[in-house]
Amino acid sequence: MLDKIKELKAEIEATKLENKEELEAFRLRFISRKSVIGDLMGEIRNVEADKRKEVGQSLNVLKNLATGKFKEVAEALEKSNSNINEGQPDLTLPDIPNQLGTIHPISQTRDKIVSIFQKIGFNVADGPEVEDDWHNFTALNFPPNHPAREMQDTFFVEKNPDMLLRTHTSNVQIRMMETQKPPLRSIMPGRVFRNEAISARAHCIFHQIEGLYINENVSFQDLKNTLYYFAKEMFGPDTKIRLRPSYFPFTEPSAEMDIYWGLKTEADRKITKGTGWLEILGCGMVDPNVLANCGIDPERYTGFAFGMGIERITMLKHKIEDIRLFFENDTRFLRQFQTIS
Ligand code: DAH
């Protein structure tokens, strides 16, 4: 029996354990209940009584040798396994989607309108959002008691009541005419402000595009042709327009342009109030007083002007029913206007 133990000791020491399979084979041979060492344990009772103690002790040493070696190798294998991927990227993880930004629908509409007018020779101009009374009202022929000047519509600068947040982009017309000589042919996009209660249909901040053409012999026919071209480019080649007489202090005559929207659905009936027609913009021939206010000779020059709301046109084109969506920056809304994918 002692010889057998010696033999097994040599075998245990010589056994190479380099992977899990070898380790498992080692466990079955030396450690498990049915292992060679287990068998020898069972045979102790057959050993002569005076040798039993010595055999028992040797067997215990042998058993400890085997379990010691097993544990040591098992731990080492475990460690080297978990180290394998340390510092390495885990290629099995799902990737992080590359989220492209989107161009705001208001900017998309603005860019489209601007490019339509650029094609027929309009250049782009802008002006200040914080404006004085002269450029926003007085030079545009607003009488001193005009309701648009009242506190309920206009945000005034508290410390200087002559200064205000512009209520329309028409101020840029004045700035153009004051500083440049005709011919003038400009499109003027920008942000405007009105002291209105915020609702699905109105906001205190919104965007307009102003147009201005000043030259010799500019006629109402030129205005109409220009707007008809714009309407077809913007809403499709079959678009119908009509001009309705209207009033603005800075144009004479003044008109509002409608496009024919149709009456196909209940929704069409609702937004066109049963008429099929939708108002898109205000326009007219620049009032001679306005030209004179800017130092342009009304005897020599005439011109037309128009102004439209960018939110309104965007809402119509995309069937958006709440203007507040444009200002909330909710990416679930904005992502629907992705132009690149
Ligand atoms: N400024 C006007 C508004 O805010 C829009 C407008 C109407 C502009 C007629 C114009 C125009 O240039 O000719 O409602």
Domain 105-334 indexed as CATH 3.20.20.120 = no
pLDDT, one tens digit per residue, over 148-194 is 787 668 999 999 989 999 999 999 999 999 999 999 999 999 999 99
Burial code (b: 16+ CB inside 10 Å, e: under 16) for 164-201 equals: bbbbbbbbbbbbbbeeeebebbbbbbbebbbeeeeeee
User: Of the candidates 129, 2, 27, which has an alpha carbon nearest to the alpha carbon of residue 77?
Assistant: 27
Which of 192, 306, 308 best tests ligand 1's pocket when mutated (most atoms within 8 Å of CB)?
306
306 Cβ inside 6 Å of ligand 1: yes
Kindly give the number of the ligand 1 atom that is closest to the alpha carbon of 284: 13
Q: Are strands 123-124 and 184-193 parallel, antiparallel or unpaired?
A: parallel
Assess whether pLDDT exceeds 80 at residue 92.
yes
Mutate to test the pocket of ligand 1, among 194, 205, 283 (most ligand atoms within 8 A of CB): 283
| Nearest CA residue ID for atom 7, ligand 1 | 282
Ligand 1 pocket, residue 309 CB under 6 Å: no
pLDDT attached to residue 2:
87
* Angle made by CA atoms 79, 83, 88, in degrees to the nearest 5: 170
CB-ligand 1 contact for 248 (6 Å cutoff)? yes
Q: Is the predicted pLDDT of residue 307 greater than 80, yes or no?
A: yes
Instruction: Give the closest residue to 214 by CA, choosing from 203, 206, 223, 205.
Output: 223
- Each residue's pLDDT tens digit, 242-300: 999 999 999 999 999 999 999 999 988 988 899 999 999 999 999 999 999 999 999 99
What does 187-201 look like in DSSP terms, one character per residue?
Answer: EEEEEEE------SS
d(CA 90, CA 111): 44
C-alpha 196 – ligand 1 centre gap (Å): 18
End-to-end CA distance of the chain: 80
Burial string for 60-98 (b: 16+ CB within 10 Å, else e) reads eebbebbeebbeebbeebeeeeeeeeeeeeeeeeeeeee
Residue nearest to atom 4 of ligand 1 (CA): 168
Confidence of residue 88 (pLDDT cuts 50, 70, 90): confident
**Is residue 127 pLDDT above 60, yes or no?**
yes
For ligand 1, is residue 305 a contact (CB within 6 Å)? Answer: yes
Does ligand 1 lie within 6 Å of residue 210's CB atom? yes
CB-side neighbour CA atoms (13 Å) of 149: 18
* pLDDT value of position 330: 94
Q: What is the mean pLDDT of residues 128-157?
A: 90
Of 131, 167, 170, 311, the residue with max ligand 1 atoms within 8 A of its CB, to mutate for a pocket test, comes to 170
Domain boundaries, given as residue ranges, for the chain = 2-85, 105-334
Distance 189 CA to ligand 1 centre (A): 12
Which backbone phi and psi does 80 adopt, to 5 degrees? -65, -30
CA of 306 to the centre of ligand 1 (A): 6
What's the pLDDT score for residue 151? 64
3-state class (DSSP) for residue 303: strand
The model's pTM is: 0.73
| Average pLDDT score, the chain | 92
More confidently predicted of 106 and 43: 106
